[in-house]
Amino acid sequence: MLNFIARRIAYGVLILIGVNLLTFMLFFTVNTPDDMARLNLGGKRVTQEAIEKWKTERGYDKPLYFDTRKAGSEKLTETIFWERSVSLFALQFGRADSESAGDIGHEVASRMWVSLQMALPLFVLQVLASTAFALLLVMFRNSRLDFWGVVSCVLMLSISSLFYIIVGQYLFSRVLKLAPISGYAPGLDAVKFLVLPIALSLLARLGGEARLYRAMFLEEIGKDYVRTARAKGLSETAVLYGHVLRNALIPIITSAGSYLPYVFLGSLVFESFFGLPGLGAYVIEAIGKQDFAIVRTMVFLGSLLYIATYVLIDLAYTWVDPRVRLA
């Protein structure tokens, strides 16, 4: 197993290097440092002196990849590529391009906890609710409950998240006044601001997840080991929870695990509409300001989290199914 993990980590590092290189080349091929300065300073009529000052303050006055004026290792380290791309591997994100954004590392560290406060409860509730709903439909399969449950799932997954947000804010905040329409407060006061976005996000994802899990359970329920369990006199509940659910955990882990990066990176749509100062809102603000330093950082963190997540998913396979051997 250790060899497998080491190999997967090596593959992940190579993928991360490739993503980092492509992202850097894309940003600095489409936009030169002078273009970035003009975008942040306010247009085409900005003086060259102001552009040079902006570039100097943010380290964009250096060569892109190689500085022939320096000696030794400084030929590589005193470059934009080293300071803005290679430094990401040491989790040194540097300063944002816009004036008001400040240090990226500090912002990521502080906003990450806000995103986690919303995404961690949502992740746990999503898995539990989708699994329980899917098992209920399978238990009453070919009945009216199953039919209307599937119809409800298709209806829920067909509706845009924006619809849930707009209707939910209007109904629960403006009409019933059960929760604030937007905003955030630290400490225990954050609960009243997080309940509504968590509930609406759970509802928006429930249909797709429950329908997927139902299909997984129906595939398992027709196999020989299920017939054997029923022949031994086990109840339908024991068969579903003791055998079907256990053997369907691998695809469930795969599906649920792919959502884990969003637990750390936050929800772009929900954080923006509910005024939550998390990483999702941070990315939206950066795109609006055309702050490429923040966008590059979040692309790197997203790639890092996806790679780490799928390594953890592989390890989880061996926990839920002893027959799985990582080799």
Instruction: Please write the tens of the pLDDT for every residue from 11-60.
Output: 888 888 888 888 888 877 777 777 777 777 776 677 788 888 878 877 78
- pLDDT at residue number 144: 94
Q: What is the pTM of this model?
A: 0.80
Q: How does pLDDT run across 115-148, given as a tens digit for each residue?
A: 888 888 888 898 899 999 999 999 898 899 999 9
- pLDDT at residue number 129: 92
Q: How does pLDDT run across 59-106, given as a tens digit for each residue?
A: 788 887 887 777 777 778 888 888 888 888 888 888 887 766 578 888
DSSP string, 143-178: SHHHHHHHHHHHHHHHS-HHHHHHHHIIIIIIIS--
- When mean pLDDT is compared across 121-125, 134-138, 265-269, 281-285, the lowest value belongs to 265-269
Q: Apex CA 206: angle with CA 161 and CA 152, to 5°?
A: 90
Question: Is residue 175 over pLDDT 70?
Answer: yes
- Residue 21 CA, distance from chain mean position: 21
Polymer length in residues for the chain: 327
- pLDDT at residue number 26: 82
Question: Is residue 313 over pLDDT 70?
Answer: yes
User: pLDDT band at 195, cuts 50/70/90?
Assistant: very high
Contact between 247 and 220 (Cβ < 8 Å): yes
Instruction: Tell which residue, 75, 71, 54, has the closest CA to residue 63.
Output: 75
- pLDDT at residue number 148: 94
Say how far apart CA 87 and CA 94 lie, in whole Å: 8
In sequence order, the 6+-apart residues with CB closer than 8 A to the CB of 297 are: 88, 93, 104, 108
Q: Which CATH architecture has domain 109-320?
A: Orthogonal Bundle (1.10)
Helices (H), the chain: 2-30, 33-41, 48-58, 74-77, 80-84, 104-139, 144-158, 161-168, 190-221, 224-231, 236-239, 245-247, 249-257, 260-265, 268-273, 279-289, 292-320
For the chain, what are the domain ranges?
A: 2-90, 109-320
Say how far apart CA 262 and CA 314 lie, in whole Å: 19
The stretch 205-214 carries a mean pLDDT of: 90
In sequence order, the 6+-apart residues with CB closer than 8 A to the CB of 66 are: 75, 76, 79
Say how far apart CA 212 and CA 207 lie, in whole Å: 9
- pLDDT at residue number 324: 64
Instruction: Tell which residue, 249, 260, 319, 253, has the closest CA to residue 1.
Output: 319
